[in-house]
């Protein structure tokens, strides 16, 4: 009997241990999911359902796993009823936000916009990868901007390869355990950030040297760190380039092996080397042999190799002899192997000739450097390489942003292109008010008036607003429709408060009409409640549906 009790006790202990183990495993899976997917509501107002609040004083810590590492951040609340967009965070200068994440590809959505004023937001990631370039939005317009990028480490995800890095790289954000975003702009406004693991997106892997690398210190820049800003979220760029490397040096440090341990079928891998190879006769002698090894090993993984000819030095003007003639040898090898060649060397020469006396402004001339590029030069070269991709690699070109603009390297951008103001985006906002004068409210006297009920009777025949009806029996004002515009008539010329709600009662926007007897409001597609009041006295509530 005693032995049976002991066996029963052991059985119970085993079951308990099994349950605890199962709970621990399930907990680990839950933690992993949470660690790879985040939804952050930026601001100090109400928190949107399903989001984690990030306040201006939310500092990064390893235990928390997210927060600001630096920046003078402040919160603004426009007092709307939409919890996500009513408030946002802004800063004078940079605000640096980090999230601890496992290695892999991530889709990151930035919810941008200010409910009242124009905003301009630029986002760099990691070691100064340009992700979003001066997203400029009119007041009251919000935009969800989604990008993809890879959180990289020196050790492969399967543990089979550990690549070498130089001592100076140990301080790079590229190789830490976080994704870091540097948010800036003339008037940055971030209402939220959503992060979702997605290893199915196509990846563009970059092999190269200092003209490609994500340079850590401005104004030094490589074209590879400017390239992400030109692609949609269907593609992530993983830049493994580093200063001072030859093709053989990159290979011996197992940087290519690291890429090949994670590359997927259909991914693209660019290979650009020559500047440092030119300095060593052994690398010069073995140039074609080494590049052939790259091409064959990349193809063996089902990925697509792309040769990129190295950029010309400042005083080089002949593409056949520039950089010791190695770009010309790459052109010939690409043709022999059937590998597409993106001729960035030719574009760099064309850009230099077009810039004339300003040619040095592409390079780090302030450091008497005629090889490396400043941010302007790197930006122009990235645009030039995009044109090569469009002309020669259509499967890669399909990932370009919809707002991409064509570029001609014989007609470079102005030298101040990266600081020029952009035209505000007006689409995407929740409402737009169309003035017919300098006032946001109409000041023209109405030529005719009809009740909301009579206006709605013929509304189904009209494009734009298809329904407008009064929600109160006795309105002091009336409404009519004209195309996509809702006209509110009978305003007595005093100050009136106009509020726009969704059908759940969330206030979308509000403004004040201070002049005139008529107000015109253009609504985007959707269903709305429009409330007009004077002080605490409601004058009318209308339902408007625009299809």
Torsion of CA 125, 130, 136, 141, to 10 degrees: -50
pLDDT, one tens digit per residue, over 423-438 is 999 876 654 433 333 2
Token pair belonging to 251 = 């290979």
**Helix, strand, coil in percent for the chain, rounding step 5:** 30, 30, 40
Average pLDDT over residues 179-189: 97
Is the pLDDT at 526 greater than 80, yes or no? no
Length of the chain equals 547
Q: Could you tell me if residue 425 is left (phi over 0), alpha (psi between -120 and 50 degrees) or otherwise beta?
A: beta
Cα distance between residue 439 and residue 319, in whole Å: 58
Average pLDDT over residues 222-246: 98
Of the CA atoms within 13 Å of residue 453, those in its CB half-sphere come to 5
Is the pLDDT at 19 greater than 60, yes or no? no
Query: What per-residue confidence (pLDDT) applies to 75?
Result: 96
SS (H, E, C) 390-405: HHHCHHHHCCECCCCC
Phi, psi of 304 (to 5 degrees): -110, 115
pLDDT, one tens digit per residue, over 507-523 is 677 777 665 666 777 77
Beta partners for residue 110, in sequence order: 145, 193
Query: What per-residue confidence (pLDDT) applies to 437?
Result: 32
Quick one: which of 220, 223, 379 has its CA closest to 311?
223
Cα distance between residue 26 and residue 95, in whole Å: 36
Do residues 54 and 69 lie in contact, with contact meaning Cβ atoms separated by under 8 Å? no
- pTM: predicted TM-score of the whole model, two decimal places: 0.75
Torsion of CA 157, 225, 36, 188, to 10 degrees: 170
Which is it for the CA torsion 270, 204, 130, 393, positive or negative? positive
Cα distance between residue 97 and residue 87, in whole Å: 17
Is the pLDDT at 452 greater than 50, yes or no? no
**Which region among 30-34, 219-223, 297-301, 405-409 has the lowest average model confidence (pLDDT)?**
30-34
Do residues 449 and 164 lie in contact, with contact meaning Cβ atoms separated by under 8 Å? no
Helices (H), 398-505: 452-457
Query: What per-residue confidence (pLDDT) applies to 39?
Result: 97
DSSP structural state of residue 262: T
pLDDT, one tens digit per residue, over 154-170 is 999 999 999 999 999 99
Query: What per-residue confidence (pLDDT) applies to 453?
Result: 30
Helix (H) or strand (E) holding 192: strand 190-197
Cα distance between residue 61 and residue 54, in whole Å: 13
Mean residue pLDDT of the chain comes to 84
**Which region among 120-124, 219-223, 267-271, 489-493 has the lowest average model confidence (pLDDT)?**
489-493
Q: 455 burial class (0-12, 13-18, 19+ CB within 10 angstroms)?
A: buried
Beta partners for residue 480, in sequence order: 487
Task: Enumerate residues 6+ apart whose C-beta is below 8 A from 508.
Answer: 80, 81, 82, 430, 431, 500, 501, 502, 528
Query: What per-residue confidence (pLDDT) applies to 35?
Result: 64
**Which region among 30-39, 490-499, 529-538 has the lowest average model confidence (pLDDT)?**
30-39
pLDDT, one tens digit per residue, over 40-77 is 999 999 999 999 999 999 999 999 999 999 999 999 99
Do residues 362 and 322 lie in contact, with contact meaning Cβ atoms separated by under 8 Å? no
Query: What per-residue confidence (pLDDT) applies to 362?
Result: 97
Under the banding of pLDDT at 50, 70 and 90, the label for residue 465 is: low
User: N- to C-terminal Cα distance for the chain?
Assistant: 80
Cα distance between residue 318 and residue 35, in whole Å: 52
The three-class DSSP label of residue 211 is coil
Do residues 432 and 426 lie in contact, with contact meaning Cβ atoms separated by under 8 Å? yes
Quick one: which of 217, 205, 219 has its CA closest to 272?
205
Phi, psi of 258 (to 5 degrees): -60, -45
Cα distance between residue 34 and residue 88, in whole Å: 23
Of the CA atoms within 13 Å of residue 244, those in its CB half-sphere come to 6
Cα distance between residue 136 and residue 190, in whole Å: 12
Task: Enumerate residues 6+ apart whose C-beta is below 8 A from 327.
Answer: 274, 309, 310, 319, 343, 345
């Amino acid at each position: 009997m005693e032995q049976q009790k002991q066996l029963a006790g052991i059985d119970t202990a085993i079951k308990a241990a099994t349950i605890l183990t199962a709970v621990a495993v399930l907990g680990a899976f839950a933690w992993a999911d949470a660690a790879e997917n985040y939804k952050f509501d930026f601001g100090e107002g109400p928190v949107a359902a399903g989001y984690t609040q990030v306040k201006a004083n939310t500092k990064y810590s390893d235990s928390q796993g997210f927060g600001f590492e630096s920046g003078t951040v402040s919160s603004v609340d426009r007092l709307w009823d939409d919890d996500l967009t009513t408030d946002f965070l802004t800063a004078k200068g940079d605000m640096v936000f980090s999230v601890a994440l496992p290695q892999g590809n991530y889709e990151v959505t930035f919810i941008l916009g200010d409910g009242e004023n124009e905003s301009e937001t630029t986002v760099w990631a990691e070691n100064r990868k340009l992700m979003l370039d001066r997203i400029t939005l009119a007041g009251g317009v919000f935009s969800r901007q989604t990008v993809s990028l890879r959180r990289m480490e020196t050790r492969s995800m399967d543990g089979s390869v550990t690549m070498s890095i130089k001592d100076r790289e140990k301080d790079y954000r590229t190789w830490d355990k976080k994704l870091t975003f540097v948010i800036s702009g003339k008037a940055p406004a971030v209402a939220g950030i959503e992060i979702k693991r997605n290893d199915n997106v196509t990846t563009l892997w970059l092999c190269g040297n200092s003209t490609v690398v994500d340079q850590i210190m401005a104004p030094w820049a490589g074209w590879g760190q400017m390239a992400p800003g030109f692609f949609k979220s269907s593609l992530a760029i993983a830049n493994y380039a580093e200063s001072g490397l030859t093709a053989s040096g990159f290979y011996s440090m197992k940087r290519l092996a690291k890429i090949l341990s994670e590359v997927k079928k259909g991914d693209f891998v660019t290979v650009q080397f020559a500047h440092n190879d030119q300095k060593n006769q052994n690398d010069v002698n073995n140039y074609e042999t080494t590049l052939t090894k790259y091409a064959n090993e990349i193809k063996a993984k089902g990925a697509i190799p792309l040769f990129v000819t190295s950029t010309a030095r400042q005083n080089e003007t002949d593409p056949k002899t520039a950089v010791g003639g190695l770009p010309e040898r790459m052109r010939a090898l690409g043709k022999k192997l059937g590998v597409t060649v993106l001729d960035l060397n030719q574009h760099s020469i064309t850009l230099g000739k077009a810039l004339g006396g300003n040619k040095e402004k592409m390079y780090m001339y302030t450091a008497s450097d005629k090889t490396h590029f400043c941010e302007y030069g790197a930006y122009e070269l990235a645009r030039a390489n995009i044109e090569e991709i469009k002309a020669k690699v259509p499967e890669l070109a399909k990932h370009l942003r919809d707002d991409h603009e064509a570029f001609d390297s014989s007609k470079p951008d102005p030298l101040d292109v990266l600081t020029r103001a952009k035209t505000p985006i007006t689409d995407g906002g929740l409402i737009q008010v169309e003035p017919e004068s300098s006032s946001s409210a109409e000041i023209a006297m109405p030529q005719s008036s009809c009740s909301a009920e009579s206006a709605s009777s013929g509304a189904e025949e009209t494009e734009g607003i298809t329904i407008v009806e009064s929600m109160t029996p006795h309105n002091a004002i009336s409404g009519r429709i004209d195309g996509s515009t809702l006209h509110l008539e009978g305003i007595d010329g005093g100050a009136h408060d106009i509020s726009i709600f969704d059908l759940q009662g969330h206030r979308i926007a509000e403004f004040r009409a201070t002049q005139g007897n008529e107000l015109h409001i253009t609504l985007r597609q959707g269903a709305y409640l429009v409330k007009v009041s004077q002080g605490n006295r409601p004058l009318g509530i209308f339902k408007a549906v625009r299809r």
